[in-house]
Protein backbone atom coordinates (compact mmCIF):
# COMPACT_ATOMS: atom_id res chain seq x y z
CA UNK A 1 0.00 0.00 0.00
CA UNK A 2 2.95 2.42 0.59
CA UNK A 3 3.87 2.14 -3.11
CA UNK A 4 0.39 2.87 -4.46
CA UNK A 5 0.43 6.44 -3.08
CA UNK A 6 3.25 7.44 -5.51
CA UNK A 7 2.09 5.35 -8.46
CA UNK A 8 -0.31 7.92 -9.92
CA UNK A 9 2.42 10.56 -9.81
CA UNK A 10 4.86 8.30 -11.64
CA UNK A 11 2.30 7.50 -14.32
CA UNK A 12 1.62 11.23 -14.79
CA UNK A 13 5.28 12.15 -15.17
CA UNK A 14 5.83 9.28 -17.62
CA UNK A 15 2.99 10.54 -19.78
CA UNK A 16 4.44 14.05 -19.84
CA UNK A 17 7.79 12.70 -20.99
CA UNK A 18 6.29 10.46 -23.60
CA UNK A 19 5.65 11.83 -27.08
CA UNK A 20 4.96 10.48 -30.57
CA UNK A 21 8.57 10.70 -31.52
CA UNK A 22 9.75 8.91 -28.45
CA UNK A 23 7.47 5.85 -28.43
CA UNK A 24 6.12 5.46 -31.95
CA UNK A 25 6.38 6.21 -35.62
CA UNK A 26 4.12 6.26 -38.69
CA UNK A 27 4.91 4.79 -42.13
CA UNK A 28 3.95 6.41 -45.40
CA UNK A 29 0.98 4.04 -45.74
CA UNK A 30 -0.37 5.20 -42.38
CA UNK A 31 0.84 2.20 -40.41
CA UNK A 32 1.60 3.07 -36.78
CA UNK A 33 4.32 1.32 -34.75
CA UNK A 34 5.09 1.46 -31.04
CA UNK A 35 8.70 1.32 -29.94
CA UNK A 36 9.48 -1.20 -27.21
CA UNK A 37 12.65 -2.61 -25.67
CA UNK A 38 12.27 -5.63 -27.95
CA UNK A 39 11.83 -3.55 -31.09
CA UNK A 40 8.92 -2.07 -32.98
CA UNK A 41 5.41 -3.51 -33.02
CA UNK A 42 2.65 -2.48 -35.37
CA UNK A 43 -0.36 -1.28 -33.47
CA UNK A 44 -2.60 -0.25 -36.37
CA UNK A 45 -2.99 1.72 -39.59
CA UNK A 46 -4.83 4.95 -40.27
CA UNK A 47 -4.62 5.83 -43.99
CA UNK A 48 -5.53 9.25 -45.34
CA UNK A 49 -4.36 11.04 -42.18
CA UNK A 50 -1.27 12.94 -41.20
CA UNK A 51 1.39 11.14 -39.18
CA UNK A 52 0.68 13.43 -36.24
CA UNK A 53 -3.04 12.55 -36.27
CA UNK A 54 -2.36 8.83 -36.60
CA UNK A 55 0.17 8.90 -33.76
CA UNK A 56 -2.12 11.00 -31.54
CA UNK A 57 -4.95 8.50 -31.99
CA UNK A 58 -2.92 5.62 -30.60
CA UNK A 59 -1.34 7.82 -27.94
CA UNK A 60 -4.83 8.63 -26.64
CA UNK A 61 -5.29 4.86 -26.17
CA UNK A 62 -2.16 4.88 -24.06
CA UNK A 63 -3.52 7.74 -22.01
CA UNK A 64 -6.69 5.75 -21.44
CA UNK A 65 -4.57 2.85 -20.15
CA UNK A 66 -2.72 5.33 -17.91
CA UNK A 67 -6.02 6.48 -16.43
CA UNK A 68 -7.11 2.86 -15.95
CA UNK A 69 -3.84 2.13 -14.15
CA UNK A 70 -4.38 5.13 -11.87
CA UNK A 71 -7.91 3.99 -11.05
CA UNK A 72 -6.67 0.49 -10.26
CA UNK A 73 -4.03 2.03 -7.99
CA UNK A 74 -6.75 3.93 -6.09
CA UNK A 75 -8.90 0.82 -5.74
CA UNK A 76 -6.00 -1.17 -4.36
CA UNK A 77 -5.17 1.70 -2.00
CA UNK A 78 -8.72 1.89 -0.69
CA UNK A 79 -8.92 -1.87 -0.23
CA UNK A 80 -11.82 -2.05 -2.67
CA UNK A 81 -10.42 -5.30 -4.05
CA UNK A 82 -10.10 -8.46 -2.05
CA UNK A 83 -6.68 -9.94 -1.27
CA UNK A 84 -7.11 -12.49 -4.03
CA UNK A 85 -8.70 -10.14 -6.55
CA UNK A 86 -6.01 -7.40 -6.47
CA UNK A 87 -3.07 -9.47 -7.81
CA UNK A 88 -5.26 -10.89 -10.56
CA UNK A 89 -6.50 -7.45 -11.58
CA UNK A 90 -2.94 -6.07 -11.61
CA UNK A 91 -1.62 -8.97 -13.70
CA UNK A 92 -4.55 -8.69 -16.08
CA UNK A 93 -4.00 -4.94 -16.61
CA UNK A 94 -0.24 -5.41 -17.04
CA UNK A 95 -0.82 -8.02 -19.74
CA UNK A 96 -3.41 -5.78 -21.36
CA UNK A 97 -0.97 -2.83 -21.35
CA UNK A 98 1.91 -4.82 -22.84
CA UNK A 99 -0.26 -6.12 -25.68
CA UNK A 100 -2.24 -2.93 -26.17
CA UNK A 101 -2.47 -1.28 -29.59
CA UNK A 102 -1.34 2.05 -28.20
CA UNK A 103 1.65 4.35 -28.44
CA UNK A 104 3.48 5.20 -25.25
CA UNK A 105 5.86 3.70 -22.69
CA UNK A 106 3.88 0.48 -22.42
CA UNK A 107 6.68 -1.38 -20.65
CA UNK A 108 7.18 1.46 -18.21
CA UNK A 109 3.45 1.75 -17.56
CA UNK A 110 3.20 -1.99 -16.98
CA UNK A 111 6.28 -1.87 -14.73
CA UNK A 112 4.74 1.00 -12.74
CA UNK A 113 2.05 -1.39 -11.57
CA UNK A 114 4.63 -3.70 -9.97
CA UNK A 115 4.56 -1.85 -6.60
CA UNK A 116 0.81 -2.41 -6.52
CA UNK A 117 1.45 -6.12 -6.47
CA UNK A 118 3.60 -5.73 -3.37
CA UNK A 119 1.04 -3.42 -1.78
CA UNK A 120 -1.74 -5.90 -2.58
CA UNK A 121 0.35 -8.71 -1.08
CA UNK A 122 0.84 -6.67 2.09
CA UNK A 123 -2.87 -5.88 2.22
CA UNK A 124 -3.66 -9.53 1.64
CA UNK A 125 -1.31 -10.50 4.48
CA UNK A 126 -2.87 -7.91 6.78
CA UNK A 127 -6.35 -9.11 5.89
CA UNK A 128 -5.35 -12.69 6.48
CA UNK A 129 -4.03 -11.70 9.89
CA UNK A 130 -7.17 -9.76 10.67
CA UNK A 131 -9.28 -12.65 9.48
CA UNK A 132 -7.24 -15.04 11.59
CA UNK A 133 -7.70 -12.76 14.63
CA UNK A 134 -11.39 -12.44 13.89
CA UNK A 135 -11.72 -16.20 13.59
CA UNK A 136 -9.80 -16.71 16.83
CA UNK A 137 -12.08 -14.28 18.65
CA UNK A 138 -15.05 -16.04 17.09
CA UNK A 139 -13.63 -19.40 18.21
CA UNK A 140 -13.20 -18.13 21.78
CA UNK A 141 -16.66 -16.61 21.81
CA UNK A 142 -18.27 -19.76 20.44
CA UNK A 143 -16.53 -21.81 23.12
CA UNK A 144 -17.91 -19.35 25.69
CA UNK A 145 -21.40 -19.66 24.24
CA UNK A 146 -21.17 -23.45 24.33
CA UNK A 147 -19.95 -23.37 27.95
CA UNK A 148 -22.86 -21.11 28.92
CA UNK A 149 -25.30 -23.37 27.08
CA UNK A 150 -24.00 -26.51 28.80
CA UNK A 151 -24.25 -24.81 32.22
CA UNK A 152 -27.73 -23.55 31.43
CA UNK A 153 -28.78 -27.04 30.28
CA UNK A 154 -28.41 -28.30 33.87
CA UNK A 155 -30.11 -25.32 35.50
CA UNK A 156 -33.73 -25.12 36.70
CA UNK A 157 -34.32 -21.63 35.33
CA UNK A 158 -37.36 -22.73 33.34
CA UNK A 159 -38.83 -19.25 33.04
CA UNK A 160 -35.78 -17.57 31.45
CA UNK A 161 -33.88 -20.58 30.11
CA UNK A 162 -35.61 -20.84 26.74
CA UNK A 163 -35.20 -17.10 26.05
CA UNK A 164 -31.54 -17.31 27.04
CA UNK A 165 -30.97 -20.17 24.58
CA UNK A 166 -32.59 -18.07 21.84
CA UNK A 167 -30.13 -15.28 22.62
CA UNK A 168 -27.18 -17.69 22.51
CA UNK A 169 -28.24 -19.07 19.11
CA UNK A 170 -28.90 -15.57 17.75
CA UNK A 171 -25.42 -14.44 18.77
CA UNK A 172 -23.91 -17.63 17.33
CA UNK A 173 -25.39 -16.78 13.93
CA UNK A 174 -23.69 -13.37 13.94
CA UNK A 175 -20.23 -14.89 14.41
CA UNK A 176 -18.00 -15.94 11.47
CA UNK A 177 -17.88 -19.59 10.58
CA UNK A 178 -14.85 -21.59 11.67
CA UNK A 179 -13.54 -24.63 9.89
CA UNK A 180 -16.31 -27.05 9.01
CA UNK A 181 -15.25 -29.64 11.57
CA UNK A 182 -14.72 -27.14 14.41
CA UNK A 183 -17.93 -25.28 13.69
CA UNK A 184 -19.93 -28.48 13.46
CA UNK A 185 -18.48 -29.90 16.67
CA UNK A 186 -19.21 -26.72 18.68
CA UNK A 187 -22.67 -26.31 17.16
CA UNK A 188 -23.58 -29.89 18.05
CA UNK A 189 -22.60 -29.24 21.64
CA UNK A 190 -24.69 -26.08 21.81
CA UNK A 191 -27.66 -27.73 20.10
CA UNK A 192 -27.32 -30.74 22.39
CA UNK A 193 -27.34 -28.51 25.47
CA UNK A 194 -30.44 -26.74 24.19
CA UNK A 195 -32.15 -30.09 23.55
CA UNK A 196 -31.21 -31.30 27.05
CA UNK A 197 -32.66 -28.19 28.64
CA UNK A 198 -35.84 -28.49 26.54
CA UNK A 199 -36.25 -32.16 27.54
CA UNK A 200 -35.70 -31.42 31.24
CA UNK A 201 -38.11 -28.49 30.99
CA UNK A 202 -40.80 -30.72 29.45
CA UNK A 203 -40.27 -33.33 32.16
CA UNK A 204 -40.41 -30.64 34.85
CA UNK A 205 -43.68 -29.21 33.60
CA UNK A 206 -45.12 -32.70 33.14
CA UNK A 207 -44.31 -33.47 36.79
CA UNK A 208 -45.57 -30.03 37.79
CA UNK A 209 -48.84 -30.61 35.97
CA UNK A 210 -49.33 -33.83 37.93
CA UNK A 211 -48.66 -31.93 41.16
CA UNK A 212 -51.06 -29.19 40.06
CA UNK A 213 -53.73 -31.76 39.23
CA UNK A 214 -53.43 -33.34 42.68
CA UNK A 215 -53.62 -29.89 44.30
CA UNK A 216 -56.67 -28.98 42.20
CA UNK A 217 -58.48 -32.12 43.31
CA UNK A 218 -57.61 -31.47 46.97
CA UNK A 219 -58.80 -27.87 46.77
CA UNK A 220 -62.01 -28.90 44.98
CA UNK A 221 -62.67 -31.29 47.89
CA UNK A 222 -62.11 -28.48 50.39
CA UNK A 223 -64.49 -26.24 48.44
CA UNK A 224 -67.16 -28.94 48.52
CA UNK A 225 -66.88 -29.11 52.31
CA UNK A 226 -67.00 -25.32 52.50
CA UNK A 227 -70.17 -25.30 50.38
CA UNK A 228 -71.81 -27.62 52.91
CA UNK A 229 -70.88 -25.20 55.73
CA UNK A 230 -71.58 -21.87 54.04
CA UNK A 231 -75.24 -21.59 55.14
CA UNK A 232 -74.74 -22.90 58.68
CA UNK A 233 -75.91 -20.88 61.68
CA UNK A 234 -73.99 -23.00 64.16
CA UNK A 235 -71.51 -20.16 64.45
CA UNK A 236 -68.87 -21.48 66.83
CA UNK A 237 -68.28 -25.02 65.53
CA UNK A 238 -68.66 -23.90 61.90
CA UNK A 239 -66.10 -21.12 62.34
CA UNK A 240 -63.69 -23.71 63.75
CA UNK A 241 -64.32 -25.98 60.76
CA UNK A 242 -63.68 -23.12 58.32
CA UNK A 243 -60.37 -22.37 60.06
CA UNK A 244 -59.42 -26.03 59.80
CA UNK A 245 -60.26 -25.96 56.08
CA UNK A 246 -58.04 -22.89 55.70
CA UNK A 247 -55.18 -24.68 57.45
CA UNK A 248 -55.59 -27.60 55.04
CA UNK A 249 -55.73 -25.21 52.07
CA UNK A 250 -52.35 -23.74 53.02
CA UNK A 251 -50.71 -27.18 53.09
CA UNK A 252 -52.10 -28.39 49.74
CA UNK A 253 -49.66 -26.50 47.49
CA UNK A 254 -50.14 -24.78 44.16
CA UNK A 255 -52.57 -25.86 41.47
CA UNK A 256 -51.11 -23.40 38.97
CA UNK A 257 -51.54 -19.64 39.02
CA UNK A 258 -54.75 -19.44 36.99
CA UNK A 259 -56.37 -22.41 38.75
CA UNK A 260 -55.24 -21.12 42.17
CA UNK A 261 -56.86 -17.74 41.54
CA UNK A 262 -60.14 -19.31 40.41
CA UNK A 263 -60.27 -21.89 43.23
CA UNK A 264 -59.29 -19.36 45.89
CA UNK A 265 -62.00 -17.00 44.68
CA UNK A 266 -64.61 -19.72 45.15
CA UNK A 267 -63.36 -20.80 48.57
CA UNK A 268 -62.91 -17.23 49.81
CA UNK A 269 -66.43 -16.35 48.64
CA UNK A 270 -67.95 -19.22 50.65
CA UNK A 271 -65.87 -18.33 53.69
CA UNK A 272 -66.73 -14.63 53.47
CA UNK A 273 -70.43 -15.46 53.10
CA UNK A 274 -70.40 -17.41 56.37
CA UNK A 275 -68.29 -14.98 58.38
CA UNK A 276 -70.18 -11.93 57.10
CA UNK A 277 -73.46 -13.50 58.18
CA UNK A 278 -71.95 -14.43 61.53
CA UNK A 279 -70.58 -10.92 61.97
CA UNK A 280 -74.01 -9.41 61.25
CA UNK A 281 -75.62 -11.71 63.81
CA UNK A 282 -72.91 -11.02 66.40
CA UNK A 283 -73.24 -7.29 65.84
CA UNK A 284 -76.97 -7.51 66.49
CA UNK A 285 -76.33 -9.75 69.51
CA UNK A 286 -73.73 -7.36 70.84
CA UNK A 287 -76.22 -4.51 70.74
CA UNK A 288 -78.80 -6.69 72.50
CA UNK A 289 -76.23 -7.89 75.05
CA UNK A 290 -75.19 -4.30 75.80
CA UNK A 291 -78.81 -3.34 76.44
CA UNK A 292 -79.17 -6.38 78.74
CA UNK A 293 -76.00 -5.38 80.57
CA UNK A 294 -77.22 -1.86 81.22
CA UNK A 295 -80.56 -3.21 82.53
CA UNK A 296 -78.88 -5.80 84.79
CA UNK A 297 -76.43 -3.27 86.20
CA UNK A 298 -79.31 -0.92 87.01
CA UNK A 299 -81.31 -3.79 88.56
CA UNK A 300 -78.35 -4.88 90.71
CA UNK A 301 -77.70 -1.33 91.84
CA UNK A 302 -81.29 -0.89 92.97
CA UNK A 303 -81.32 -4.34 94.70
CA UNK A 304 -78.09 -3.60 96.55
CA UNK A 305 -79.63 -0.39 97.93
CA UNK A 306 -82.84 -2.21 98.91
CA UNK A 307 -81.45 -5.45 100.41
CA UNK A 308 -78.25 -4.22 102.08
CA UNK A 309 -77.69 -3.95 104.95
CA UNK A 310 -79.86 -6.92 105.94
CA UNK A 311 -82.06 -6.45 109.01
CA UNK A 312 -84.81 -8.91 108.08
CA UNK A 313 -83.37 -12.13 106.54
CA UNK A 314 -86.78 -13.37 105.38
CA UNK A 315 -87.60 -10.10 103.62
CA UNK A 316 -84.09 -10.06 102.15
CA UNK A 317 -84.57 -13.59 100.79
CA UNK A 318 -87.90 -12.60 99.14
CA UNK A 319 -86.29 -9.51 97.61
CA UNK A 320 -83.42 -11.61 96.29
CA UNK A 321 -85.82 -14.12 94.69
CA UNK A 322 -87.65 -11.27 92.94
CA UNK A 323 -84.31 -9.85 91.80
CA UNK A 324 -83.19 -13.25 90.46
CA UNK A 325 -86.37 -13.67 88.39
CA UNK A 326 -86.01 -10.25 86.80
CA UNK A 327 -82.25 -10.78 86.30
CA UNK A 328 -82.72 -14.07 84.41
CA UNK A 329 -85.42 -12.61 82.15
CA UNK A 330 -83.05 -9.97 80.84
CA UNK A 331 -80.90 -12.44 78.84
CA UNK A 332 -77.18 -12.54 78.04
CA UNK A 333 -74.61 -9.77 78.46
CA UNK A 334 -71.26 -9.26 76.64
CA UNK A 335 -68.80 -12.07 77.40
CA UNK A 336 -66.23 -9.83 79.05
CA UNK A 337 -68.86 -8.49 81.51
CA UNK A 338 -70.32 -11.83 82.62
CA UNK A 339 -67.95 -12.36 85.54
CA UNK A 340 -68.42 -8.85 86.95
CA UNK A 341 -72.25 -8.96 86.76
CA UNK A 342 -72.54 -12.52 88.12
CA UNK A 343 -70.09 -11.63 90.90
CA UNK A 344 -72.35 -8.87 92.18
CA UNK A 345 -75.35 -11.24 92.06
CA UNK A 346 -73.48 -13.95 93.97
CA UNK A 347 -72.35 -11.38 96.53
CA UNK A 348 -76.01 -10.48 97.26
CA UNK A 349 -76.92 -14.17 97.49
CA UNK A 350 -74.04 -14.77 99.91
CA UNK A 351 -75.10 -11.83 102.09
CA UNK A 352 -78.66 -13.12 102.28
CA UNK A 353 -77.40 -16.65 103.07
CA UNK A 354 -75.13 -15.37 105.87
CA UNK A 355 -77.99 -13.35 107.40
CA UNK A 356 -80.23 -16.44 107.34
CA UNK A 357 -77.52 -18.55 108.96
CA UNK A 358 -77.06 -16.03 111.75
CA UNK A 359 -80.81 -15.80 112.30
CA UNK A 360 -81.09 -19.57 112.48
CA UNK A 361 -78.24 -19.77 114.95
CA UNK A 362 -79.89 -17.08 117.11
CA UNK A 363 -83.33 -18.74 117.20
CA UNK A 364 -82.35 -22.42 117.39
CA UNK A 365 -83.28 -23.79 120.96
CA UNK A 366 -80.56 -26.38 120.92
CA UNK A 367 -77.96 -23.74 120.18
CA UNK A 368 -79.14 -21.66 123.22
CA UNK A 369 -79.07 -24.67 125.50
CA UNK A 370 -75.55 -25.54 124.41
CA UNK A 371 -74.42 -21.93 124.88
CA UNK A 372 -75.95 -21.74 128.41
CA UNK A 373 -74.36 -25.08 129.35
CA UNK A 374 -70.96 -23.85 128.20
CA UNK A 375 -71.28 -20.65 130.28
CA UNK A 376 -72.35 -22.60 133.40
CA UNK A 377 -69.53 -25.10 132.92
CA UNK A 378 -66.89 -22.36 132.67
CA UNK A 379 -68.45 -20.51 135.66
CA UNK A 380 -68.36 -23.57 137.93
CA UNK A 381 -64.80 -24.36 136.95
CA UNK A 382 -63.74 -20.77 137.65
CA UNK A 383 -65.27 -20.96 141.11
CA UNK A 384 -63.30 -24.14 141.89
CA UNK A 385 -60.05 -22.61 140.62
CA UNK A 386 -60.54 -19.49 142.77
CA UNK A 387 -60.99 -21.74 145.85
CA UNK A 388 -57.81 -23.66 144.98
CA UNK A 389 -55.97 -20.35 144.49
CA UNK A 390 -57.01 -19.03 147.95
CA UNK A 391 -55.84 -22.23 149.62
CA UNK A 392 -52.49 -22.18 147.77
CA UNK A 393 -51.89 -18.58 148.85
CA UNK A 394 -52.86 -19.43 152.41
CA UNK A 395 -50.25 -22.22 152.44
CA UNK A 396 -47.68 -19.91 150.88
CA UNK A 397 -47.31 -22.12 147.81
CA UNK A 398 -46.27 -19.40 145.38
CA UNK A 399 -45.47 -21.75 142.50
CA UNK A 400 -48.89 -23.43 142.59
CA UNK A 401 -50.58 -20.08 143.02
CA UNK A 402 -48.83 -18.77 139.90
CA UNK A 403 -49.99 -21.79 137.87
CA UNK A 404 -53.59 -21.41 139.10
CA UNK A 405 -53.55 -17.70 138.21
CA UNK A 406 -52.56 -18.56 134.61
CA UNK A 407 -55.35 -21.14 134.37
CA UNK A 408 -57.87 -18.66 135.74
CA UNK A 409 -56.88 -16.06 133.13
CA UNK A 410 -57.23 -18.53 130.25
CA UNK A 411 -60.55 -19.89 131.52
CA UNK A 412 -61.89 -16.37 132.05
CA UNK A 413 -61.21 -15.59 128.38
CA UNK A 414 -63.18 -18.66 127.32
CA UNK A 415 -66.04 -17.72 129.63
CA UNK A 416 -66.14 -14.19 128.19
CA UNK A 417 -66.37 -15.61 124.65
CA UNK A 418 -69.12 -18.11 125.61
CA UNK A 419 -71.04 -15.34 127.37
CA UNK A 420 -70.83 -13.09 124.28
CA UNK A 421 -72.15 -15.91 122.10
CA UNK A 422 -75.08 -16.47 124.52
CA UNK A 423 -75.82 -12.76 124.53
CA UNK A 424 -75.88 -12.70 120.70
CA UNK A 425 -78.26 -15.64 120.56
CA UNK A 426 -80.52 -14.11 123.23
CA UNK A 427 -80.69 -10.72 121.49
Give the whole-angstrom CA distance, residue 416 versus residue 408: 12
pLDDT at 315 over 80: yes
Count: domains in the chain:
5
**Spatial contact of 124 and 86, defined as CB atoms under 8 Å apart:** yes
Residues 375 and 421 in one domain: yes
Give the whole-angstrom CA distance, residue 279 versus residue 272: 10
Look at the chain and count its residues: 427
| Model confidence pLDDT, tens digit, residues 254-286 | 888 888 899 899 989 988 998 898 888 878 888
DSSP conformation class of 45 = E
209, 242, 258 - which closes a domain: 209
Q: What pLDDT score does 4 carry? A: 42
Give the whole-angstrom CA distance, residue 219 versus residue 384: 95
Establish if 280 belongs to a structural domain. no
* Helix 235-252 × helix 180-229 angle, to 10°: 170
Q: Quick one: average pLDDT of 360-387?
A: 79
pLDDT at 79 over 80: no
* Whether the bond into 309 is cis, omega within 30 of 0: yes
Percent of the chain surpassing pLDDT 70? 93
Give the whole-angstrom CA distance, residue 402 versus residue 414: 19
Establish if 126 belongs to a structural domain. no
Q: 159 versus 21: which is more confidently predicted? A: 159
Residues 353 and 377 in one domain: no
Q: How far is CA 29 from the centre of its chain?
A: 101
Establish if 377 belongs to a structural domain. yes
Q: Which residues pair with 45 in a beta bridge?
A: 31
209, 243, 260 - which closes a domain: 209
Q: What is the mean pLDDT of the chain?
A: 85
Q: What pLDDT score does 257 carry? A: 84
Alpha carbon dihedral 36, 39, 45, 48, in 10-degree steps, equals 100
Residues 42 and 85 in one domain: yes
Residues 225 and 158 in one domain: no
Q: Cα–Cα distances in Å, from 338 out to 61, 293, 320, 348, 395?
A: 128, 9, 19, 16, 73
333, 363, 393 - which closes a domain: 363
Residues 354 and 334 in one domain: yes
Establish if 122 belongs to a structural domain. no
| Model confidence pLDDT, tens digit, residues 144-157 | 999 999 999 999 88
Across 154-158, 311-315, 407-411, least confident range: 407-411
Residues 142 and 165 in one domain: yes
Give the whole-angstrom CA distance, residue 227 versus residue 235: 15
Establish if 182 belongs to a structural domain. yes
Residues 388 and 400 in one domain: yes
Residue 94 DSSP SS3: helix
- Return the beta strands (E) in 37-110 as ranges: 39-45
Residues 94 and 60 in one domain: yes
Spell out the alpha helix ranges (H) of 79-178.
Answer: 85-98, 106-112, 114-153, 158-174
Establish if 16 belongs to a structural domain. yes
How confident is residue 398, by pLDDT bands cut at 50, 70 and 90?
confident
Provide the residue range defining the domain that includes 84. 4-112
How confident is residue 426, by pLDDT bands cut at 50, 70 and 90?
low
How confident is residue 102, by pLDDT bands cut at 50, 70 and 90?
very high
Establish if 139 belongs to a structural domain. yes
Q: Cα–Cα distances in Å, from 344 out to 7, 304, 318, 339, 371?
A: 126, 9, 17, 9, 35
Other beta carbons within 10 Å of 351: 18
Q: What pLDDT score does 427 carry? A: 59
Establish if 172 belongs to a structural domain. yes
Amino acid sequence: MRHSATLSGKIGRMTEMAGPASWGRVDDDGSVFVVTAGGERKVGQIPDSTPEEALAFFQRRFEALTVEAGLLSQRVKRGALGPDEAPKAIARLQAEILSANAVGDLVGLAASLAPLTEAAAEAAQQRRQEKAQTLERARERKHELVAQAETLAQSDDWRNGTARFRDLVAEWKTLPRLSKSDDEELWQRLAGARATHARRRREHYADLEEVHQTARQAKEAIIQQAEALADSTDWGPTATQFRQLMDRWRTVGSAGRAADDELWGRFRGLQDNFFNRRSAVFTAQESEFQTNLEAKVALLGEAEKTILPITDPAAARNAYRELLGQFNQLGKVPREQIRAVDGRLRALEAAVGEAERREWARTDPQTRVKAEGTVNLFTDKLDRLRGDLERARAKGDAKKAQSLEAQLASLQALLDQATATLDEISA
